[in-house]
Amino acid sequence: MNTDSASSPRLPLVVTTRDEVRHHIATARKTGRKIGLVPTMGALHAGHLSLVKAARRECDFTVATIFVNPTQFGPHEDFQKYPRNLDADLKLLASLNVDLVFAPTVAEMYPPGSTTFVEVGAVAAPLESAARPGHFRGVATIVLKLFNLIPADVAFFGQKDYQQSLVIRQMVADLDVPITIRVCPIVREPDGLAMSSRNVYLSADERRRALSLSMSLRLAAELVAGGERDAGAIIRQMREVLDTAGVQIDYVALAHPDTLEVVANIQGPTVALVAARVGNTRLIDNQLL
């Protein structure tokens, strides 16, 4: 376990090339350290930092990656305007004593001539993929590339991106990737809004309306706790909360937590998932019931 005191943050080593990151990981491996990996797209917030803290607790050498991955964005999505703030990110990572940061360029990760992609099956097909075709192909591809460059013992992801966590588990199982996947709880603002790098896009009015996502999920949990088992009835009431707030619903679903198959009746563990546009900003959230 890492025993550095929190009072002496040192700047993490920042590398931008695949050769450098391989070299530093190989060195950490030689000294027998347990390596934790936290992949991110930067614009870090407390949700990301919770993953870093989990990595620091479990591992002896923590690597964070910062890369806004173009292959997971659709042609009309926010790749260009996605928030980027490397200096602030590095300060936050330094305060948590991260050992190594890998922040490559697009050309470094996708040199001319790279044409191979990872397609994950059924679990990648519903929900997010309806609005974002090809999204998980891009996610799985970049995550596998990061796993190959940074052969960590454990990789940390957030439940915030619930379907993504299943896609990555499926890929790791199917392709025999020797890495343990940990999924950490959703970190929320005090009023319940799930933290997201995209929340900075919201105007004050949109920020208020965005609360309807977490409110609809809380309502679902309350209805189930109160004995409601009819998924249709629960979804109707969740949609009402979202409609009343004037957000544009992409989907509201109650699904099996491992397969994402929709459930008609709540009989066992179930996950409620929502995606909605608030103005021009697309937000997602979920809750296990």
User: Which residue among 89, 99, 128, 161 contacts ligand AMP (CB under 6 A)?
Assistant: 161
How many angstroms separate the Cα of 249 from the Cα of each of 212, 216, 267, 274? 11, 12, 26, 8
Residue 285 touches ligand AMP, criterion: CB under 6 A: no
Q: Pick between residue 221 and residue 239 the one whose CB is nearest to ligand AMP.
A: 221
- Number of residues located near ligand AMP, criterion CB under 6 A: 17
Q: Give Cα 4 to chain centroid, integer Å.
A: 27
Distance in angstroms (rounded) separating the CA atoms of residues 170 and 139: 13
Distance in angstroms (rounded) separating the CA atoms of residues 187 and 210: 15
Nearest distance, CB of residue 7 and ligand AMP, angstroms: 26
Residue 247 touches ligand AMP, criterion: CB under 6 A: no
Query: What Rg do the C-alpha atoms of the chain give, in angstroms?
Result: 19
Residue 50 touches ligand AMP, criterion: CB under 6 A: yes
Q: Pick between residue 47 and residue 254 the one whose CB is nearest to ligand AMP.
A: 47
Structure tokens at 81: 């305007």
Residue 195 touches ligand AMP, criterion: CB under 6 A: yes
Residue 186 touches ligand AMP, criterion: CB under 6 A: yes
Nearest distance, CB of residue 222 and ligand AMP, angstroms: 21
Q: Of 96-104, 187-195, 257-265, 266-274, which segment contacts ligand AMP by CB under 6 A?
A: 187-195
Catalytic residues: 48
Residue 51 touches ligand AMP, criterion: CB under 6 A: yes
Nearest distance, CB of residue 196 and ligand AMP, angstroms: 6
Ranges of H-type helices in 59-161: 86-95, 106-109, 128-131, 135-149
Distance in angstroms (rounded) separating the CA atoms of residues 146 and 151: 8
Task: Please report the beta strands in the chain, taking only residues with DSSP state E, as ranges in sequence order.
Answer: 13-15, 35-40, 61-66, 100-102, 154-158, 180-184, 248-255, 271-278, 281-288
Q: Of 29-37, 42-50, 75-83, 276-284, which segment contacts ligand AMP by CB under 6 A?
A: 42-50
Q: Of 9-17, 107-115, 154-162, 250-258, which segment contacts ligand AMP by CB under 6 A?
A: 154-162
3-state class (DSSP) for residue 123 = helix
Distance in angstroms (rounded) separating the CA atoms of residues 208 and 230: 29
Residue 138 touches ligand AMP, criterion: CB under 6 A: no
Distance in angstroms (rounded) separating the CA atoms of residues 272 and 234: 10
Report the DSSP pairing between strands 281-288 and 271-278: antiparallel
Residue 287 touches ligand AMP, criterion: CB under 6 A: no
User: Which residue among 56, 135, 160, 209 contacts ligand AMP (CB under 6 A)?
Assistant: 160
Residue 47 touches ligand AMP, criterion: CB under 6 A: yes
Residue 253 touches ligand AMP, criterion: CB under 6 A: no
Interface with ligand AMP (CB under 6 A): 40-41, 47-48, 50-51, 157-158, 160-161, 184, 186-187, 194-197
